[in-house]
Amino acid sequence: MSKYYLNYLDELESEAIFILREVWAQFENPVILFSGGKDSIVVTHLAKKAYYPSKIPFALMHVDTGHNFPETIKFRDDLINNLGVKLIVGSVQESIDNGRVAEEKGKNATRNALQITTLLDAIEEHKVDCAIGGGRRDEEKARAKERFFSHRNDFGEWDPKNQRPELWNLLNGKHFEGEHFRAFPISNWTEMDVWNYIKRENINIPSLYFAHTRDVVFRNNSWIPVSQFLKLEEGEKIEKKKIRFRTLGDITITGGIESDADTLEKIVDEVSMMRKTERGDRSDDKRSETAMEDRKRQGYF
Amino acid sequence: MKINNNQLLRFTTAGSVDDGKSTLIGRLLFDSKSIFEDQLESVSATSERKGHDGVDLALFTDGLKDEREQGITIDVAYRYFTTPKRKFIIADTPGHIQYTRNMVTGASTANAAVILIDARHGVIEQTKRHSFIASLLNIPHLIVCVNKMDLVEYSEERFNEIIGQFEEFSSKLLVKDVRFIPISALLGDNVVNRSENMDWYQGGTLLNILETLHISSDINKIDARFPVQTVLRPQNDEHRDYRGYAGRVASGIYRVGDEVAVLPSGFTSRIKSINNGGDDIEEAYAPMSIAITLEDDIDVSRGDMIVKKNNQPEAEQEFDIMLCWLHNEPARPRAKYTVMHTTNEQRAMIKEVVYKIDINSYNRNTEDKDLTMNDISRVKVRTTRRLMLDSYRDNRNTGSIILIDENTNETVAAGMII
């Protein structure tokens, strides 16, 4: 076999860097949507490479639900310092205080859907014309239909049945005033690819991804961390467990799994043995069969 | 799975519900253990609700709400699976003629195409259509799966008869590598696991062929083409004089010290350095994303192309292309479009429709000059400035274009330089 070929991780990396550079070339004011989760951390790492030796030439935007893991916020601030880039925070608490959205009521209330309004307001306020996300097509059936460059109308809505075709590597980011794009550089990556890449590049990630001992409650088939937001229901009891998180969302809805994987090597081994998808422990996706598609149409990540 | 030097293979499938395409993909994912328990549970529940016997493998590939309700694939959907030998990306597309544009989209980046034939029906119009698109989009490898062999008593004779039918019409096409496999997607024969019902078949299973296709020589390594995406000019002391031309190598190999020309200006220089995401390297090849610096201070910007001095593409302002119309608004006579070619954009006009192709019969129609959705036609295009073109047959990346409607910003057509 000839030596002039890339292995699959190098090819995925090269594709992502190509997309990030297209964003920079085609848009005036892009941002990276940064959640503190591994996917947006990988996108940020790729952006560092894409524009080297320049620093990342635009801001990171965090939609802060107020229901964070404290570790995530610390990680975010350290990273921002390290990169020397600007951070834009859209606050769901502010959206609630300003009456833009109302807090959900009831037992399974979350701030997940409220983020849509905060996100779209922040995009409008900061005149963002392209929001780069860490969405992957393997995550969820609605995300499988996403383009690299995904158009949003002036209401921020996605129209999955009417998307621009994307051929070869010709990405059409043309848009009118008020519209914006979402760009997904790691569309073609799977959870396994992300972990293999984090390991290969030795990328710093929040300690929450590694096995640690924590107070948790068993709910909806996973371990929900104890926090100031958690209200115990009848029959539930707080236990100490060694767990880690496969994905990071709000502290109120992100369930951990029991695990001893406390190094990247062990995580990669564990993920390769997993028999459930990573979003299987996210109650935001369990609401209905098309929960993600419905949220995405309205402007979700 | 450990990090290794496994390659990525992208393949496309086209088909409708009846020919078992979704079942085939479901079978590939299922038998290669790429389906997770919660996905299986969700699909089992849906199968039961719809009153299907057992798990309907086809449901693994349905995405949007409308598609699930109607039981069809409308758009291109991407699926992923990994084996110890390779990572795969499937571009799963609908097969009906009204979705030709989706098939073209899915085929545009594929290394291989899987074509399904129902063993009972043999070669039909749809087979010819899918094969034509694979040939038009220059997919290097074609894998013809003769499906539903269980319904023709696993007959070798029937299999050979279908190969004969296929070879008869495919002689008109330009596909370099064609393989035939007798399978049953429903029962799993020769998909991932070898069939016990067809010991007369000596070749590999579908997965085995996908894992071993030789793809590294499919990339053009002769004609070095580097379209510049953007110029990196860091604003820090350490790199004050740095001017890096960022882009993805479209084809060929670049080495430090190479004598290069910058097009369209034609100025020449030598490569001073090649940087790969922070590391200086000595040589770069397709499809690497790199940044190049040159010895001389010359004007280079987005849309320019850095090539080897002694191997340059044609600079043309008027050229013939095979065009697939993608949009439901037909082409307007003499309308202006933006043409996007590599990282370059120009205004363009369709000067003439030479002929339209009937993709079922391959007949040329020189009477009908309208360009409506899904039409594939040979047209003459004129641009405001010259483009640096290669033929699509030689170079997929520098031989392809899209047209964008200036009024709506929609991508309306895709073209391949002849």
The pLDDT score that the predictor gives to residue B41 is 76
The pLDDT score that the predictor gives to residue A92 is 85
The answer to whether the B225-308 and B314-417 domains have the same CATH topology is yes
pLDDT digits (tens, 9 = 90+) for A189-199: 998 999 999 99
- % residues pLDDT > 70 (chain A): 94
**Would you state the structure tokens that stand for residue B28, as one six-digit string?**
């590939």
Confidence band, pLDDT 50/70/90 cuts, at residue B191 = very high
Q: Which residue has the higher pLDDT, B117 or B57?
A: B117
Does domain B7-218 bear CATH number 3.40.50.300?
yes
Q: Which of A224-228, B51-55, B253-257 has the lowest mean pLDDT?
A: B51-55
The pLDDT score that the predictor gives to residue B54 is 67
Confidence band, pLDDT 50/70/90 cuts, at residue A142 = confident
Confidence band, pLDDT 50/70/90 cuts, at residue A96 = confident
The pLDDT score that the predictor gives to residue B21 is 84
The pLDDT score that the predictor gives to residue B100 is 84
Backbone phi, then psi, for B19, in 5-degree steps? -90, 5
The pLDDT score that the predictor gives to residue B2 is 44
Q: What is the residue-averaged pLDDT of chain A?
A: 89
**A263 close contact with B: CB closer than 8 A:** no
Q: Which residue of B has its CA nearest to A146?
A: B77
The pLDDT score that the predictor gives to residue A294 is 77
Closest CA–CA distance from residue B86 to any residue of chain A (Å):
8
The pLDDT score that the predictor gives to residue A282 is 59
- In the predicted model, what is the mean pLDDT of residues B91-117? 89
Beta bridge partners of B293: B273
The pLDDT score that the predictor gives to residue B4 is 66
Confidence band, pLDDT 50/70/90 cuts, at residue B94 = confident
The pLDDT score that the predictor gives to residue B64 is 59
Backbone phi, then psi, for A98, in 5-degree steps? -80, 0
Q: Which residue of B has its CA nearest to A197?
A: B3
Q: Which of A268-272, B163-167, B220-224, B411-415 has the lowest mean pLDDT?
A: A268-272
User: Residue A192: is it exposed, middle or buried by C-beta count within 10 angstroms (0-12/13-18/19+)?
Assistant: middle
What residue spans define the domains of chain A?
Answer: 8-193+289-298, 206-285
Please name which of A12, A86, A85, A17 lies closest in space to residue A49, comparing C-alpha atoms.
A17
Q: Which residue of B has its CA nearest to A12?
A: B8
Residue pair A164/A172 in contact (Cβ under 8 Å)? The answer is: yes
**Would you state the structure tokens that stand for residue B274, as one six-digit string?**
């090649």
The pLDDT score that the predictor gives to residue A284 is 60
Closest CA–CA distance from residue B250 to any residue of chain A (Å):
10
Q: What is the residue-averaged pLDDT of chain B?
A: 90
Q: Of the spans A41-45, A61-65, A229-233, B130-134, which averages the highest pLDDT?
A: A41-45
- In the predicted model, what is the mean pLDDT of residues A104-120? 81
- Write out the H or E segment, with its range, that includes residue B248: strand B244-248
- In the predicted model, what is the mean pLDDT of residues B269-282? 96
- Please tell me the number of Cα atoms within 13 Å of B295 on its side-chain side: 11
DSSP code at position B317? E
Beta strands A257-258 and B77-82, pairing class = unpaired
Cβ-nearest to A49 among B4, B248, B277: B277
- In the predicted model, what is the mean pLDDT of residues B57-71? 63
- In the predicted model, what is the mean pLDDT of residues A278-296? 66
Q: Which residue has the higher pLDDT, A154 or A175?
A: A175
Confidence band, pLDDT 50/70/90 cuts, at residue B71 = low
The pLDDT score that the predictor gives to residue A148 is 96
Q: What is the pTM of this model?
A: 0.93
Contact A21 B42 (CB under 8 A): no
Q: Which residue of A has its CA nearest to B9?
A: A8
Q: Of the spans A132-146, A264-278, B200-214, which averages the highest pLDDT?
A: B200-214
Q: Using alpha carbons only, give the angle B317, B391, B323 rounded to the nearest 5 degrees.
A: 75
Beta strands B177-182 and A257-258, pairing class = unpaired
d(CA A227, CA A252): 8
CA B407 from centre of chain: 28
The pLDDT score that the predictor gives to residue A1 is 42
Residue B34 with chain A: CB contacts under 8 Å: none
Q: What is the CATH number of domain B314-417?
A: 2.40.30.10
When scoring B38, B43, B214 by the number of chain A Cβ atoms within 10 A, the one with the most, hence best to mutate, is B38
CA B252 from centre of chain: 19
- In the predicted model, what is the mean pLDDT of residues B19-41? 80
Residue B241 with chain A: CB contacts under 8 Å: none
The pLDDT score that the predictor gives to residue A286 is 57
Confidence band, pLDDT 50/70/90 cuts, at residue A29 = very high
pLDDT digits (tens, 9 = 90+) for B152-179: 999 999 999 999 999 998 888 888 899 9
Residue A15 with chain B: CB contacts under 8 Å: 287, 289
pLDDT digits (tens, 9 = 90+) for B276-326: 999 999 999 999 999 999 999 999 999 999 999 999 999 999 999 999 999
pLDDT digits (tens, 9 = 90+) for B128-153: 888 999 999 999 999 999 999 999 99
Coil/strand/helix, residue A113: coil
- In the predicted model, what is the mean pLDDT of residues A168-187? 95
Q: Which residues contact B121 (CB under 8 A, 6 or more apart)?
A: none
The pLDDT score that the predictor gives to residue B301 is 96
Confidence band, pLDDT 50/70/90 cuts, at residue A279 = low
**A14 close contact with B: CB closer than 8 A:** yes
The pLDDT score that the predictor gives to residue B1 is 39
List A residues 46-85 in contact with B (Cβ-Cβ < 8 A).
Answer: 48-55
Q: What is the CATH number of domain A8-193+289-298?
A: 3.40.50.620
- % residues pLDDT > 90 (chain B): 67
Q: Which residue of A has its CA nearest to B137?
A: A168
**B243 close contact with A: CB closer than 8 A:** no
When scoring A7, A138, A141 by the number of chain B Cβ atoms within 10 A, the one with the most, hence best to mutate, is A141
Out of 2.40.30.10, 3.40.640.10, 3.40.50.920, 3.40.50.300, the CATH code matching B225-308 is: 2.40.30.10
Residue A25 with chain B: CB contacts under 8 Å: 229-230, 302, 343
Contact B216 A187 (CB under 8 A): no
**B64 close contact with A: CB closer than 8 A:** yes
d(CA A201, CA A198): 5
List B residues 397-416 in contact with A (Cβ-Cβ < 8 A).
Answer: 397, 400-402, 404, 409-411, 414
Cα–Cα distances in angstroms (integers) from residue B262 to residues A8, A113, B265, B313, in the given order? 30, 50, 6, 11
Q: Each residue of A6-21: b (16+ CB within 10 Å) or e?
A: bebbbbbbbbbbbbbb
Beta bridge partners of A254: A282
Crossing angle for the helix pair B100-107 and B125-136, to the nearest 10 degrees: 40
The pLDDT score that the predictor gives to residue A254 is 84
pLDDT digits (tens, 9 = 90+) for A232-242: 888 889 999 99
Q: Is the pLDDT of residue B356 over 60?
A: yes
d(CA A246, CA A264): 12
The DSSP annotation for A260-293 comes to: ---SHHHHHHHHHH--S-GGGGBGGGSS-TTHHH
Q: Which residue has the higher pLDDT, B400 or A226?
A: B400
Neighbours of A103 (CB within 10 A): 11
